[in-house]
Amino acid sequence: MADNSQRNDSVFEAAAHRARVRRNWLLSTPALIILVLAASGPLLVMLAYSFLQAGDYGGVEYRFSTEGWFQVFLARDIFDDTVSVADAHLSIFWRSARLSFLTTVTALALGFPTAYFIATRPRSSRNLWLFLVTVPFWTNLLIRTFAIMEVIKNQGIVNTLLMSAGVISEPIQMLYTDFAIMLGMTYVYLPLMILPVYASMEKLDFRLVEAGYDLYATRIKVLWRVIIPLVKPGIVAGCILVFIPSLGAYVTPRVLGGGRNLMIGNLIELQFGQGSNWPLGAALSIFLLLVVMVALLLYVRNSQKANNIVRH
Amino acid sequence: MSDSVSVAIHGVSKVFGHDRNAVTALDDVSLDIREGEFFTLLGPSGCGKTTLLRLIAGFEHPTRGHIDLHGEEISHLPPYRRPVNTVFQSYALFPHMTVAENIGFGLEMQGKSKEETTSTVGEMLRLVQMEDLADRRTDQISGGQQQRVALARALAPRPRVLLLDEPLSALDYKLRKGMQIELKRLQNETGITFIFVTHDQEEALTMSDRLAVMSQGKVLQVGAPREIYAHPAVRFVADFIGDTNFLDAELLEIERDRTELKLPSGKPVSARGAARSVDGKVHIAVRPEQTTLTRDADAAHLEGHIDNVVYSGTDTHYHITLPGGESFVVRTQNRGDSGDEWQAGQTAGIVIEPGAVQILAD
Ligand SMILES: Nc1ncnc2c1ncn2[C@@H]1O[C@H](COP(=O)(O)OP(=O)(O)OP(=O)(O)O)[C@@H](O)[C@H]1O
Ligand SMILES: [Mg+2]
């Protein structure tokens, strides 16, 4: 008998568990629908397109083809079908990686002191500073980018000032250069660096900084040995948040690069627009996604290993 | 312990904030702390103890006055150029380093060689009995162990002066007693000048060679524990350290280093030192344990009504009201033969032992 009742209990328990699971699924339906429709759905479509044949005037023909992926790295000569590396694409990949890296480094160099500054203000004024950091988000990205254009173009503020001060006689060509793109991206993504670094910095126990000074560490040493290791999670988050959108940036290189200095985002757009090569565009998108994912995975793997070494 | 001065504080004031928000944390403090001594800053919360330590460490700069270390002014030096280390109240151990790395940090920053650092760290680990936990992270050890790591970390670079800001306040009673003894041992072994902050009077009395009693940013009295306890100079010190009876007396006569006084009861009594008084009134303090009860009216200095008798094991406290309304406590040690001789409601004479009357300056 006792045995029996126990069995009954476990039956009830299992039923209750099933009900719980059902309810949880029900509750998460909206989130799941959004995930499927907004994220996974389009991705799957892109993945499918990358393996189809390009239509003559854009679009795809429903025939399997690896031509899209082939063209990501390789180019076929129009006349004799010889295959060579797609130099144009590689140089765009390289520019994207280089500019994104430089943007991340610059954003860190500017964002770290800013975050430190805000974190060391009295508590009451910190919110005001944070608010000021987020103000640029209120205007449209395009408008902000055009504003930068006004500043750095040949008849722009910087050149006019420098010329009237007699520092230079000819305007410096800044617009439509890699520098312009980097400047624009740094400006646009800087808050994404400041906010996570600040979040870590705010949690930093400044008594540890004092302990560092007390133990003969100079300012630089305290920065390297105490502050940076302790706010590293924020720095890493900021770098990821700046690097990834930089890699896929579209508006900034389009406006400030003047259509000559393309980045991956522009290359992809080109395939869906003028280039009428949707499978290539889709393959490039997926390729970009894979690069980012692999980089993130490697990072996570590494930081876990580093943690284990410390914890062991 | 030698007589040469380690830390000299000359007329130091510290004001935080400006204008209407200004807080005077220290008000014209002067102190000479001797080399190799265990010196304690004692005072209630907010009296400026931490501020004074922070000024010596270099985290704050004096608004007025200056601080010398072995005769050289250090007020303008940043903390990392002062041969002074701090054991922080919160320990402030680096969470991203192991116990050994924490202890070695100061040595590494001083540019000591790897071998020297390793050997000193080993020595320090042994000194605080933490060899087994050298590779632990600091968030994986107990509060008492963290406290010892903080101590070892501050001692490792061999500072001239060690500053300790209430290092024992986070520990439970038993651990605290153990650490008090350990601290004294470490101070004896290393010969380093310790400046110790506490608001616990018992801790201050048992541990210090000398102590300074502070209140509201001022140093009220400096001296050996015995001296401070037996001869409190002002009302605050008498009240803050131990239990005290306060009385008003009349000035009769001042001889070189004695003062003859008349108690409220009209009886004469003499006290050490010269009193200063404008209106002939003098405030005096008498420790309860330096008084006894008597039935002999001639021998009694005071007389009063016993309100309450409190038995506390080793002692008995008699709470007495004097004819003028002042309350007075007599404390006697319990011996085997003394029964409950005195009861509440009785009238008793109070005898003040010779030398027990202390004249207060305020
Ligand atoms: N940075 C500061 N800004 C403004 N006022 C301060 C500052 N630091 C200390 N004070 C004030 O100075 C006075 C002395 O503070 P301090 O921390 O030295 O006291 P303490 O004796 O260490 O007290 P506790 O026993 O509570 O630690 C207090 O009134 C405090 O409010
Ligand atoms: Mg304090």
Residues B210 and B251 placed together within one structural domain of the fold: no
Do the chains contact at B96 and A310, CB–CB below 8 Å? yes
- Both A134 and A236 in one domain: the answer is yes
Question: Phi/psi of residue A24, each to 5°?
Answer: -60, -40
Decide: residue B104, CB within 10 A, 0-12 exposed, 13-18 middle, 19+ buried: buried
In a domain, A197, yes or no: yes
Residue A7's pLDDT band (cuts 50, 70, 90):
low
Q: What letter does residue B192 receive in the DSSP assignment? A: -
Edge-to-edge order in the sheet of strand B23-34: B23-34, B5-16, B64-69, B72-73
Residue B103's H or E segment, with its range, is helix B99-109
Considering only residues B51 and A80, tell me which one the structure prediction assigns the higher pLDDT: B51
| Protein residue with its CA nearest to atom 17 in ligand 1 | B50
CATH at B284: 2.40.50.140
Q: Which pLDDT does position A127 carry in this prediction?
A: 93
Shared domain check, A166 and A26: no
Q: How many residues does chain B have?
A: 362
What residue of B is the nearest CA neighbor of A216?
B80
> Which domain range does residue B116 map to?
5-236
Spell out which residues of chain A touch residue B96, defining contact as CB-CB under 8 Å: 229-230, 310
In a domain, A192, yes or no: yes
Same domain? For B105 and B11 the reply is yes
pLDDT band at A298 (very low <50, low <70, confident <90, very high): confident
Do residues B43 and B49 touch, judged by C-beta distance below 8 A? yes
Which of B170, B204, B236 corresponds to the end of one domain? B236
B31 and B48 co-located in one domain: yes
With beta carbons under 8 A apart, name residues in chain B contacting A214: 57, 59, 79-80, 84-86, 154
Decide if B79 touches A, using CB distance below 8 A. Answer: yes
Q: Which residue is associated with the tokens 């480094």?
A: A105
Contact B221, B30 (CB under 8 A): no
Residues A28, A108 within the same domain: no
Indicate whether A187 and A115 sit together in one domain: yes
Give yes or no: residues A27 and A149 share one domain.
no
Q: What is the CATH number of the domain that holds A222?
A: 1.10.3720.10
- In this structure, the answer to whether residues B187 and B254 fall within a common structural domain is no
Q: Within a domain: residue A69?
A: no
Q: pLDDT class for A32, splitting at 50, 70, 90?
A: confident
DSSP secondary structure letters along B213-226:
EEETTEEEEEE-HH
What pLDDT digit, counting tens, does each position of A140-177 carry? 989 999 999 999 998 889 999 999 998 888 888 989 99
Same domain, A93 and A20: no
Number of domains in chain A: 2
Q: Is A230's CB within 8 Å of B96's CB?
A: yes
Q: What is the ipTM of this complex?
A: 0.84
Q: Are residues B210 and B227 both part of a single domain? A: yes
Structural domain for A22, as ranges: 1-49
Give the pLDDT of residue A222.
96
Nearest neighbour of A207 by CB, restricted to B88, B98, B109: B88
Parts of chain B with a pLDDT under 50: 1
**Same domain for B99 and B187?**
yes
pLDDT for residue A1? 45
Question: pLDDT per residue over B120-161, tens digit each?
Answer: 999 999 988 889 999 999 989 988 899 899 999 999 999 999
Identify whether residues B104 and B167 lie together within a single domain: yes
Per-window interface: B 99-138 vs A, CB < 8 A = 105-106, 109-110, 137
Convert the pLDDT of each residue in A43-73 to its tens digit.
999 999 999 999 888 888 999 999 999 999 9
Looking at residue A4, its pLDDT comes to 57
Cβ of residue B139 closer than 8 Å to a chain A Cβ: no
Radius of gyration of chain B (CA): 25
Nearest to B96 among A211, A217, A229 (CB): A229
Looking at the DSSP bridge assignments, the partners of residue B69 are: B7, B72
CATH number at residue B152: 3.40.50.300
Is A100 found in the same domain as A40? Answer: no
Residue B284 pairs in a beta bridge with B247, B359
Question: Same domain, yes or no, for A105 and A249?
Answer: yes
**Residue closest to B38 by CA, chosen among B154, B156, B203:** B203
Residue A5 in this model has a pLDDT that exceeds 70: no
pLDDT tens-place string over residues B69-118: 999 999 889 999 999 999 998 899 999 999 999 999 999 999 999 999 99
- Bridge partners for B207 per DSSP: none
Place A131 in a pLDDT band, splitting at 50, 70 and 90. Answer: very high
Are A150 and A267 members of one domain? yes
B329 and B230 part of one domain:
no
Select from B214, B236, B258 the last residue of a domain. Answer: B236
Could you tell me if B147 and B191 lie in one domain?
Answer: yes
pLDDT band at A189 (very low <50, low <70, confident <90, very high): very high
Of B29, B47, B60, the residue with max ligand 1 atoms within 8 A of its CB, to mutate for a pocket test, comes to B47
Q: Is A57 contained in some domain?
A: no
pLDDT at A81 over 90: no
Three-state SS letters, chain A: CHHHHHHHHHHHHHHHHHHHHHHHHHHCHHHHHHHHHHHHHHHHHHHHHCCEEECECECEEEEECCHHHHHHHEEECCCCCCEEECHHHHHHHHHHHHHHHHHHHHHHHHHHHHHHHHHCCCHHHHHHHHHHHHHHHHCCHHHHHHHHHHHHCCCCHHHHHHHHCCCCCCCCCCCCCHHHHHHHHHHHHHHHHHHHHHHHHHHCCHHHHHHHHHCCCCHHHHHHHHHHHHHHHHHHHHHHHHHHHHHCCCHHHHHHCCCCCCCHHHHHHHHHCCCCCHHHHHHHHHHHHHHHHHHHHHHHHHHHHHHHHHHC
Of B190, B102, B184, nearest in space to B146 by CA: B102
Residues A2 and A137 in one domain: no
Let me know whether A25 and A149 are in one domain. no
Confidence check: pLDDT of A106 > 80 = yes
What is the distance between the alpha carbons of residues A288 and A283, in angstroms, rounded to a whole number? 9
Question: What pLDDT, on a 0 to 100 scale, did the predictor assign at position A17?
Answer: 87
Give the number of domains in chain B.
2
Residues B232 and B262 in one domain: no
Task: Enumerate chain A positions whose Cβ falls within 8 A of a Cβ in B.
Answer: 205, 207-208, 210-218, 221, 225-226, 229-230, 310-311
Residue A195 belongs to a domain: yes
Average pLDDT of chain A, as a whole number: 89
A195 and A124 part of one domain? yes
Tell me the average pLDDT across A268-289.
92
Same domain, yes or no, for B100 and B178? yes
B249 beta partners: B282
Pocket of ligand 1 (CB under 6 A): B 16-17, 23, 25, 43, 45-51, 199
- Residue A175 corresponds to which amino acid? L
**Residue bearing tokens 């000193």:** B120
- Domain identity same for B228 and B259: no
